[in-house]
Amino acid sequence: MELVLGLESTCDETGVALVRGNELVADVVASSMDEHARFGGIVPEVASRAHLEVFVPTVQEALHRAGQRLDDVDAIAVASGPGLVGSLTVGVAAAKALALALDKPLYGVNHVIGHAAVDQLVHGEFPDRTMALVVSGGHTSLLMVDDVATGVTELGHTLDDAAGEAFDKVGRLLKLPYPGGPHVDRLAREGDPEAIRFPRALTAPKDRERHAYDFSFSGLKTAVARWIEACEDAGREVPVADVAASFAAAVADVLVSKTLDACERHEVSTLVVGGGFSANSQLRDLAQARGAERGIDVRIPPLKYCTDNGAMIAALGSAVVQRGLEPSGLGIGVDSSMPLEVVRA
């Protein structure tokens, strides 16, 4: 099996990993999250500069942990989209330099599909037909995976805010530190998920016909904002834990119910959940419980593989190499809105 070097730089994490087949050899992540905290969100220019500063030492550390040299690498995979243009450019430029210097094949791969592919490093090869729900700060997508390297079809996506993005926005409404998502998740475990009945968007019969596989969280975020405003206007203390728990329950309920319905309609018995938001405890628990009730095997990788990392790019790159697909070549660019049916650039 070829040794594949994976490079990830789509947002604020610089990830470098080495994968041989479906075996993770080394994985190193450097994050610039702390540099963005004072701005309350990701600043693209800050992220790009951080990638420039840490790319070389991160590659060196990954090789050191693997006990390998650059000459031992057989192929290089890099996330060429979707993501922030500046951040993507740093990663792709670095990958091109390595490929040219080492005379190794270069593969530009899809960051979002990588969030699903990384599960193969943990639970093994996907069955012939697998459903993948990728949920993160920037993406909420439902994918039919016939082959992770050659056959991915997007069934649906979010029409507005992604799930993780909605969590961060609600975190700001509740005056929680940035990023708000993990804090909302933590507080949700302390509150009552049935205290407030927040809306479940696109679940009415008419919406299930038109948007069977799509999601929407903007209206839910607005409903939370209006509820908090009404509570404050009435002079009552906002029950932060209950708001967090009720909001999180609404998000998890919609994601899980629509995804499992899609599994049944397409006669798929394996569901993979990936992306940064798959670290959410309510989503994990609900997906596992309802999946078991419906006879669907729900696969969710460990938390360290949920946020952006090099392992997911190396895993997808390894799958592409194993299928014998042609390299992307040194002429590849970056695509901030790369279609989710494009596995390899």
Considering the domain architecture, whether residues 94 and 8 belong to the same structural domain is answered as yes
Are 230 and 295 part of one and the same domain?
A: yes
The answer on 230 and 130 residing in a single domain is yes
Q: For residue 244, tell me if it sits in a domain.
A: yes
Decide if 329 is inside a domain: no
What CATH number corresponds to the domain at position 47? Answer: 3.30.420.40
Q: What is the pLDDT of residue 104?
A: 98
Question: In the prediction, which pLDDT does 41 show?
Answer: 81
Domain count for the chain:
2
186 and 92 in a common domain: no
Whether residue 167 is found in the same domain as residue 294: yes
Residues in the chain, pLDDT under 70: none
Q: Are residues 165 and 299 in the same domain?
A: yes
| pLDDT, averaged across the chain | 96
Q: Note the pLDDT of residue 209.
A: 85
Residue 258 lies in a domain: yes
Residues 108, 155, single domain; the answer is: no
Q: Is 294 part of any domain?
A: yes
pLDDT for res 136: 87
Do 151 and 295 fall into the same domain? yes
Statement to judge: residues 212 and 270 lie in one domain = yes
Residues 111, 81 share a domain: yes
Specify whether 196 is located in the same domain as 313: no
Give the model's pLDDT for residue 86.
97
81 and 34 inside one domain: yes
SS (H, E, C) the chain: CCEEEEEECCCCEEEEEEEECCEEEEEEEEECHHHHHCCCCCCHHHHHHHHHHHHHHHHHHHHHHHCCCHHHCCEEEEEEECCCHHHHHHHHHHHHHHHHHHCCCEEEEEHHHHHHHCCHHHHCCCCCCEEEEEECCCCEEEEEEEECCCEEEEEEEECCCCHHHHHHHHHHHCCCCCCHHHHHHHHHCCCCCCCCCCCCCCCCHHHHHHCCCCECCHHHHHHHHHHHHHHHHCCCCCCHHHHHHHHHHHHHHHHHHHHHHHHHHCCCCEEEEECHHHHCHHHHHHHHHHHHHHCCEEECCCHHHCCCCHHHHHHHHHHHHHCCCCCCCCCCCCCCCCCCCCCEC
Range of the domain at 211: 125-305
pLDDT of residue 37: 79
Does residue 105 belong to any structural domain of this protein? yes
Domain membership flag for residue 331:
no
Residue 201: predicted pLDDT: 95
Tell me, what's the pLDDT at 215?
A: 97
pTM: 0.95
Quick check: is 21 in a domain?
Answer: yes
Residue 334 lies in a domain: no
